[in-house]
Chain A
């Protein structure tokens, strides 16, 4: 991983945008990185658009706000349209192609299309498109891997829903293994 990776997760409220971000932040923490996680907040969170900024770095983090992401995870069309041009040149965009039929117009970024919502539906893990697409992030972004996935999941899956730990792991792996 380059010294600092700035990620922006964006989609609808209810898609697990904040959860996926928190998972990556915890994974970073376990790996002794500096991390920050900043959600959008307020009424817009109730079913509207949701996004969260995650920074994982080898150095102390200044601003926790990600205006120019190295990595954009877009889980609905408005998010892609809003943030596509904010991604740094040479950055990566992950698109949930089930929900977004538009193609990324920029040519100076790497784009990964993954039908995360359809895959979640097919595998009977409907709520975990967020983790499927995050799995793809683990595969494609420098510095990320499947290491410490279980430990990080243990930190973010609440004790009451501990039975969901396994399916989260499955979702991550299926995204990781997905080939376009």
Chain B
């Protein structure tokens, strides 16, 4: 399947998931991610898989828990309000150390918000969303090709670390079509001795559980989980550097805004402005080190986000506030234009990084 086809981002996620060995999908209709469910509804019966439209997002994520507990690859997808409903289940997946892939094709919020693209669930996905101390691996695709390849990656990481991997996309990424190759390569499989497969009366029963009534035990569980998270932060960070070699101004953007920023950066470069971009691909683990290194070379940072300034906090933390970080943002479903980003780049470049 190496021939490139034109596909919507949402469809690319669905097909890539199937290619990655996900034969169980549970969802609930919500704009702008419904194509994932529609695609699964078409394809799953043909490969003997399960597509089930649940009675709610809450049920969908709990069906995911059911399949995950048996050791099989499973996915659900939704958009912002629906992901809030899944938060309980995501916390349980974390507490049970179960692998699963959750897709959020973001729209504007809070509340019912709107249906146009947004990045305002950055906090929700990277900082928790559900209760308790836990992390999700969060992948932010910036092309339809990445919608596919990062979905495959998400399944691999979920299994490798026995935890939730999230695809954090937005309405634009979900709705747009670009050429995509669905050649996913070899799909790795992982041993899951903890899976509920029936004891066959040959082994002790397996228990998938997040309840630890003894605080000493629950503390140890949390410590162990954070050891795992530490190794993920050391080994799984992904980012793209764009024209950073001589950059004096560093744009930080993910997903669709990184695409807009590229236009602006090219334009600024044509005018002789030394600007580059670091695009986090993993939002958690966050690419702290490359940003910290950039802080030694650049005079200022600009975060381009479709929210009121969420990732900017992680950037400031990563660079220990060594250099000023400016926000260039639109919200509510509005997308910043390349001109707006260019104007910000020029302004920051001229101010020389002064606060």
Q: Is the CB of A41 within 8 A of B31?
A: yes
Known contacts A35-B179, A64-B176, A41 near B171 by CB under 8 Å: yes
State A35–B178 Cα separation when bound (angstroms). 6
Known contacts A63-B338, A64-B172, A65-B260, A37 near B266 by CB under 8 Å: no
List residues 133-178 of chain B with CB under 8 A from any CB of chain A. Answer: 171-172, 175-178
Q: Which of A21-29, A101-109, A114-122 contacts B (4 or more CB under 8 A)?
A: A21-29
**Which residues of the other chain, A, contact B177 by a CB distance below 8 angstroms?**
22, 25, 36-38
Interface size of A in residues (CB-CB distance below 8 Å): 20
Q: In terms of DSSP, what is the predominant structure of the interface of chain A?
A: mixed
Q: Is the CB of A42 within 8 A of B263?
A: no
The reply to whether the CB of A62 lies closer than 8 angstroms to some CB of chain B is yes
List residues of B whose CB falls within 8 A of some A CB. 4-6, 31-32, 115-116, 171-172, 175-179, 256, 259-263, 266, 335, 337-338
Q: Is the CB of B179 within 8 A of A63?
A: no
Q: Is the CB of A65 within 8 A of B172?
A: yes
Task: Give A59 Cβ to nearest chain B Cβ, in Å.
Answer: 9
Q: Is the CB of B178 within 8 A of A64?
A: yes
Q: Is the CB of A63 within 8 A of B32?
A: no
Which residue on chain B has the smallest CB distance to residue A44?
Answer: B115
The reply to whether the CB of A67 lies closer than 8 angstroms to some CB of chain B is yes
Q: Is the CB of A41 within 8 A of B115?
A: yes
Q: Is the CB of A38 within 8 A of B172?
A: yes
The reply to whether the CB of A155 lies closer than 8 angstroms to some CB of chain B is yes
**Which residues of the other chain, B, contact A37 by a CB distance below 8 angstroms?**
6, 176-178
Q: Is the CB of A42 within 8 A of B32?
A: yes
Task: Give A57 Cβ to nearest chain B Cβ, in Å.
Answer: 11
**Which residues of the other chain, B, contact A64 by a CB distance below 8 angstroms?**
172, 176, 178, 256, 259
State A34–B266 Cα separation when bound (angstroms). 17
**Which residues of the other chain, B, contact A61 by a CB distance below 8 angstroms?**
178, 259
Known contacts A62-B263, A63-B263, A155-B6, A29 near B116 by CB under 8 Å: no
List residues 6-64 of chain A with CB under 8 A from any CB of chain B. Answer: 22, 25-26, 29, 34-39, 41-43, 61-64
Can you list the 9 inter-chain pairs with the closest CB atoms, starting with the nearest?
A: A62-B263, A62-B262, A37-B177, A38-B176, A63-B260, A42-B115, A63-B259, A41-B175, A62-B259
Q: Is the CB of A39 within 8 A of B178?
A: no
Which one of A29, A38, A41 has the greatest number of beta carbons of chain B within 10 Å?
Answer: A41
**Which residues of the other chain, B, contact A34 by a CB distance below 8 angstroms?**
179
Task: Give A162 Cβ to nearest chain B Cβ, in Å.
Answer: 18
**Which residues of the other chain, A, contact B259 by a CB distance below 8 angstroms?**
61-64
